[in-house]
Structure 1
Amino acid sequence: MKIQTVSGLIGIFIGFILPSVNASDAIIVYSARMAHLIKPLFDAYTQKTGVAVKFISAKEEELLDRLVIEGENTPADLLLTVDVGNLWLATEKDVLRPIDSALLDKNIPPHLRDPEKRWVGLSVRARPIMYNTETIKPENLKDYADLADPKWHGKLCLRTAKKVYNQSLVAMFIARYGEAQTRNLLTGWVNNLALPVLASDTQVIESIANRQCEIGIANTYYLGRLQHDNPQLPVAIHWHDGVHINISGAGVTKYAKHPELATQLLEWLSSEEAQDQFAELNFEYPANPQVKLSHIVEKWGKFNAETLHVSEAGRLQAQATRLMEEVGYH
């Protein structure tokens, strides 16, 4: 874990001991996003406004625990994290405050914002089916439920259920289909695995490319990174109606020392200028619908996303985790 400013490395901290930070000097961001993805944005914001931004990078759960333990003494003004489940949990732990911003309401669609205005999505990640282009005909693919069919026995790769991305995916299945149907779907997935569950989406895609399996599920930006390095990678996306989407997002902390400045930074992060930079850096879909896609993402084509509000993924995540454990999806 490390704390950085827009000008470079500031210091190192251990556990929940904060480094020496003068919160009056800058906006303080607790960030679960990788430093190389957000530092260019904060650099640009400082250059544009003169407002300094310092950020602490750590795992999502560590940052949330810090906010809870620090309470009123937290130096953090903004929480930036991945997966709506983590944003939902932050609201459950009461560490975010409502944000009243007409600009955020204008830039970010309602289904990507907290109904009570405590967080907003800043990027969208789709989690579709992917397949080996040399062994699978796309017309033979249908949807997530079809991956439970015995015809795919020994051909499916999945990331571990311990990752929040899959917990949110299954939570949305429960919201859409109910627990009984979701249980049947997951049981079929487990029966069809070609390999033990994998640690990362990158491993899923690479296993598909290497024919260790032939189909899988992964976030699109992982494919974008791999295609950037190897345009001939024999893996493609299968779009179907109701593709699962999730978000990275942010909220102003409940005890922010600079709530107005934090809101202004959040508004800028939702702007076309910032969203365009982020789309190019990480191959994600901009949350602001006015922003163009990166060249690689644009080539994947359009898709119809799940229409349920993304917050359902957080609300049902505990139930999803329990169900995955019960069917042997670890």
Structure 2
Amino acid sequence: MTSDRTSRLTDRRTFIAGTVGTASLLAGCSGISGSSRSGTTDDPVVETGTASTRTPEGGAPSIDDLPDLEGDLTVYLGRGEGGAYSDLVSYLEDTRYEDFSVTLKRGPSSGLANTILTEAANGESPADVFWSIDAASLALVARNGLAATLPADLTGIVAGKFRDSKRRWVGLTGRARAIPYNTDRLTADDIPASVFDIPGKKRFQDALGWAPSYGSFQAFVTAMRHLEGDSRTRQWLNGVQETGVKSYPGEFGVTYDVAQGTVSAGFANHYYALRLKQANPDAPVDLAFTHGGPGALINVAGALVLRSSDRFDLATNFVRHFLTREVQRYLVEHVYSYPLASGVAPPDGGDIELPSIAELDPPDIDLAALGNVKETIRLLRDTGVL
């Protein structure tokens, strides 16, 4: 009789094995060619959607080029990305490396960061790796001197604006701010090039949605404060409220109601519209992207290794696995995040035209600054947004 564990293991092999050349991906996902442990290929090809491009020299490594993972790790993992991260961890320990095991502690990234600080104050944290869905939580741990310095050849896989300048943490995937809009009500030309031009426009009167209590929205407002100042940010928040805006607990709700026509447009991360379109290709929703300012912010999920860990080599090798082109492709195709390792194509948005990171022209901001949310929350309360 097949056990539940065996069934889960079979499922994990199915959905990820294509990244290492042992099987095909789950039906409906694009194939990913690469070598297995029993064979190699001298000229790997990255396949994403209908595009096929050779990985450039100096790009993301292949998972087959990394040392095996052997030993035990304790990983604090921020909740998010629909379980894809924990599924990848399970794949590594259950399927690929028989002598590797992970103890996972799940929770909100900000809560786990504070847990690490508390544990360190009382001795040391049992965590080896902190894997957060936002840069702010990583920065908080790093600022308190608890993060080890990562190898330069690891952090160097990722562009400088998506990693810590002192190599204490590195981004793994990115999410872009976007404006989902209902295509039955608006066109791309109706969406201004700057978020500052949205308040006061008649087409958005009583037709906008946002999620002000959601972490990604608060990071966006924090970026606005750092880039434009508190006065202009306050003016923008008041202007959007005067235009008329419906509040939601999360940004999937914003995007869903855009597609339903409850609101005409909103503020959300890019991937919610892509997930919605995957489930319902006929949904009347598209994405518009602003450029250069806070509306073009790209935040990251990333990881650090704790200084107190006595498994530094294993921990850094573990982090390195998530910057391989196979795993980056998996996250692109299943989570719709932007890959941060070079040489991996961005998500295939189908009918939604998704620009590259370079085309988005994200603002020049230290992502560590997004950890200062106390002043942002105070401003949101002062303006009546919260």
Scaled to the shorter chain, the TM-score interval is 0.7 to 0.9
Query: Structure 1 stretch 119-128 or stretch 184-193: which is displaced more?
Result: 184-193
- Asked whether the equivalents of residues 225 and 283 of structure 1 are also in contact (C-alpha less than 8 Å), the reply is yes
Give how far 1:120 is off: 0.7
- Asked whether the equivalents of residues 123 and 249 of structure 1 are also in contact (C-alpha less than 8 Å), the reply is yes
Residue 340 of structure 2 is aligned to residue 287 of structure 1: yes
Give how far 1:79 is off: 0.5
Q: May I ask how many residue pairs the two structures share in their alignment?
A: 309
Which residue does 1:239 correspond to in 2? 289
Higher relative contact order (CA 8 A, sep 6+): 1
Give how far 1:116 is off: 1.4
Which residue does 2:108 correspond to in 1? 59
Residue 235 of structure 2 is aligned to residue 184 of structure 1: yes
Give CA-to-partner distance per residue, 1:54-108, whole Å, 9 cap, x none: 3111122331232122224422110011122222222234332221231331x11
CA distance in 2, matches of 1:165, 1:205: 14
Residue 89 of structure 2 is aligned to residue 42 of structure 1: yes
Give how far 1:158 is off: 0.6
Which residue does 1:226 correspond to in 2? 276
- Asked whether the equivalents of residues 6 and 39 of structure 1 are also in contact (C-alpha less than 8 Å), the reply is no
2:244 partner letter: L
Query: Residues 221 and 58 (structure 1 numbering): CA distance in 2 closer, same or farther, change over 3 Å?
Result: same
Q: State which structure, 1 or 2, has the greater radius of gyration over its C-alpha atoms.
A: 2
CA distance in 1, matches of 2:245, 2:222: 24
| Secondary structure of the structure 1 residue equivalent to 2:198 | helix
Where does 1:258-269 land on structure 2 (aligned, <5 Å)?
258-269=311-322
CA distance in 1, matches of 2:111, 2:127: 13
Identity %: 23
Which residue does 2:140 correspond to in 1? 89
Which residue does 1:211 correspond to in 2? 261
- Asked whether the equivalents of residues 175 and 316 of structure 1 are also in contact (C-alpha less than 8 Å), the reply is no
2:321 partner letter: W
Query: Residues 194 and 177 (structure 1 numbering): CA distance in 2 closer, same or farther, change over 3 Å?
Result: closer
TM-score, with length taken from structure 2: 0.74
CA distance in 2, matches of 1:298, 1:109: 28
Which residue does 1:325 correspond to in 2? 381
Query: Residues 65 and 178 (structure 1 numbering): CA distance in 2 closer, same or farther, change over 3 Å?
Result: closer
TM-score, with length taken from structure 1: 0.86
Residue 216 of structure 2 is aligned to residue 165 of structure 1: yes
Give how far 1:162 is off: 2.3
Residue 178 of structure 2 is aligned to residue 132 of structure 1: no
Which residue does 2:360 correspond to in 1? 304
Which residue does 2:167 correspond to in 1? 117
Residue 370 of structure 2 is aligned to residue 314 of structure 1: yes
| Secondary structure of the structure 1 residue equivalent to 2:146 | coil
Residue 310 of structure 2 is aligned to residue 257 of structure 1: yes
Give how far 1:190 is off: 1.6
Which residue does 1:198 correspond to in 2? 248
Query: Residues 39 and 234 (structure 1 numbering): CA distance in 2 closer, same or farther, change over 3 Å?
Result: same
CA distance in 2, matches of 1:74, 1:309: 30
- Asked whether the equivalents of residues 41 and 277 of structure 1 are also in contact (C-alpha less than 8 Å), the reply is no
1:109 partner letter: A
Query: Residues 93 and 134 (structure 1 numbering): CA distance in 2 closer, same or farther, change over 3 Å?
Result: same
Query: Structure 1 stretch 130-139 or stretch 252-261: which is displaced more?
Result: 252-261
Aligned pair partner of 1:153 in 200, 205, 214: 205
- Asked whether the equivalents of residues 181 and 288 of structure 2 are also in contact (C-alpha less than 8 Å), the reply is yes
Give how far 1:297 is off: 6.7
2:342 partner letter: P
- Unpaired runs of 5+ in structure 1? 10-23
CA RMSD of aligned residues (A): 2.5
CA distance in 2, matches of 1:136, 1:60: 36
CA distance in 2, matches of 1:178, 1:304: 22
